[in-house]
Amino acid sequence: MQVQIRHQPSFAVGLMLRPGARAQVESGAMMATSYSVQVQAPAQGGIMKGLGRAVLGGESFFVSTYTCLQNGGWVDVAANLPGDMQVINLDGRVGWCVTKGAWIASSLGAHTETKWAGFGNLFGGEGGFLTHTTGHGPLVVAWYGALEAVTLQKGEVVTIDSGHVVAYAGTVQSQTRMMSTGVWPTVKNGEGLVSHFAGPGQVLTQTRNPAALVILGHRPAAVPRLSDRTCG
C-alpha cells in the first residue's frame, strides 16, 4: 500500500493503493474512491472484537477493507476534524498505541486490537482504552490541529495533557495522574489528568484538544487516581 497525503497541514486527505494492494480504513473515513476498487465492511476481527472496538475503544464497529484491482485504483480518506495526517511505517518490531479517533487507516499487514490504557484515561474522558497496532506496513493517524512530535531518549520524561496525545511508540512507558494534588486545586485551575511519558521512543501530540471542542470548553473534574500503563 502506497500512501500520499495532500492538503496539509490543515485539511489533510489521501490514501493511494498500488495494484493488488489492500487497506483497512476506519468506517466513515472514506471520502472518495475510484470505481475499480472493491470494498468490504466486516466487523473488525469478528463480532466480539468488533463490539470491543466500538464499545470499549470508541471506534467504529465495522472496518472497511479496500482492495485495488490489477489495473490500479485509489482511495481518499479524511478525518472528522480539521488537522493533519501522518504515516507511521510499522516495522514488525515496535507497535504503536493510538488514542480514540486518531486511527484512520492501515495496510492489511497491520494488526489492531483494543487495549486497556488505565483508569486515568477512563476518568479523564479518553475512554480508558487505546488501539494497539502491530505488524508491517503503513499506519495512517490523524489529529486535531497541528502535530508536535516529541522524541524521547532513554530515561527522558515529558508531561502531556491526555487530551493532546495522539499516539506513542510501544517502547515508551506511560503513567497517568492528576495535574494538581487534590481534587479542588485541579477543578479550580481547570487542569485535568496528564500523562508522563518516559523514553526511549516517540510521542505524537495534537495542538488542539477534541474534547474541548465537543463539550464547548467543559473540562471534567479530575479523580484522584494513579494509573500506570505500558503498550508494547
pLDDT of residue 156: 97
Domains and CATH numbers, the chain: 13-230 (3.60.160.10)
Q: For residue 192, give the nearest of 231, 169, 158, 159 by alpha carbon.
A: 159
pLDDT of residue 173: 92
Identify the H or E element spanning 183.
Answer: helix 183-189
pLDDT of residue 221: 46
Instruction: Show pLDDT as tens, one digit a residue, over the chain (232 residues).
Output: 889 999 998 999 988 888 888 999 998 899 999 988 999 876 555 444 544 444 444 455 578 899 988 888 899 999 989 999 999 999 999 999 999 889 999 998 999 888 766 554 444 444 467 889 999 999 999 999 999 999 999 999 999 998 899 999 999 998 887 765 554 444 433 456 788 999 999 999 999 988 877 655 444 444 444 345 556 5
Q: For residue 77, give the nearest of 6, 172, 132 by alpha carbon.
A: 6
Q: Specify whether the CB–CB gap between 22 and 65 falls below 8 A.
A: yes
pLDDT of residue 118: 57
pLDDT of residue 191: 52
Query: How many Cβ atoms from other residues are within 10 Å of residue 145's Cβ?
Result: 19
pLDDT of residue 179: 66
